[in-house]
Amino acid sequence: MTLKEGTSGQRFVIRAVTDSPLKNRLMTMGLVPGTAVTVLRSAPLGDPMALRVRSYHLALRRDDAASIQVESMAN
């Protein structure tokens, strides 16, 4: 699955970042394979989403999050 479908409170591990205009920036900001991501909350209408990754918070549109392949992590 991709991070686009993530809902508040879910935790994931990034498997891959596929080609997209943001790929380089996402990876540079620490979203590399193996990194844990927690979905914190969503803006009104459910998009964009706020994430916790590597001890900081990041806001991202769901369409942009579609390029991040993730695997659900057991709590």
Partner 1 sequence: MSSLAVALTGNPNTGKSTIFNELTGARQKIGNWPGVTVDKKIGYLSHQGRNISVVDLPGTYSVNARSPEEKIVIDYLLNEKPDLVVDVLDSSNLERNLYLTIQLLEQGIPLLLDLNMQDEARRHGIRVNTEKLGAALGMPVVETTARSRDSIHTLLDVFTSTVMEKYQPSEKVRAHIANIEKLRGSGLAADALEEKIIEERYAFIDAVVDECVSVAGVDAATSEKIDAVLANGWTALPIFLVMLYAVFQITFEWIGQPIADALEEFISGPLTETVAESLEAWEVADWMQSLIVDGVIGGVGGVLTFVPLIFILFFCLSFLDGTGYMARVAFITDPIMRRVGLTGKGIMPLIMGFGCAVPAIMGARALDSEKDRMTSILVTPFLTCGAKLPIMALFAAMFFPDNAANVVFAMYILGIVMAIVAAKLLGSTVFQSQGSTFLLELPPYRMPDMKTVLLETWDKGKGYLIKAGTIIFAMSVLIWFLGHFNSGGMTEEMSESFLAALGTGMSKLFIFHGFDTWEAGAAVITGILAKESVVSTMGILYGVGEISAEAEDAVETAATMMQTGMGTAFTTLSAVAFMVFSQLYTPCVTALGTIKKETGSWKWMGFSAVYMFALAWLVSLLVYQGGRLMGF
The footprint of partner 1 (CB under 8 A) covers: 17, 19, 21-22, 24-30, 32-33, 35, 40-48, 50, 54-61, 64
- What minimum distance in Å lies between the beta carbon of 48 and partner 1? 5
- What minimum distance in Å lies between the beta carbon of 17 and partner 1? 8
Look at residues 28, 70, 33 and name the one whose alpha carbon lies nearest to residue 49: 70
For partner 1, give the closer residue by CB, 37 or 60: 60
Cβ atoms 43, 57 nearer than 8 A: no
Specify the DSSP element, H or E, that contains 27.
Answer: helix 23-28
For partner 1, give the closer residue by CB, 43 or 73: 43
Q: Is 26 helix (H, G, I), strand (E, B) or coil?
A: helix
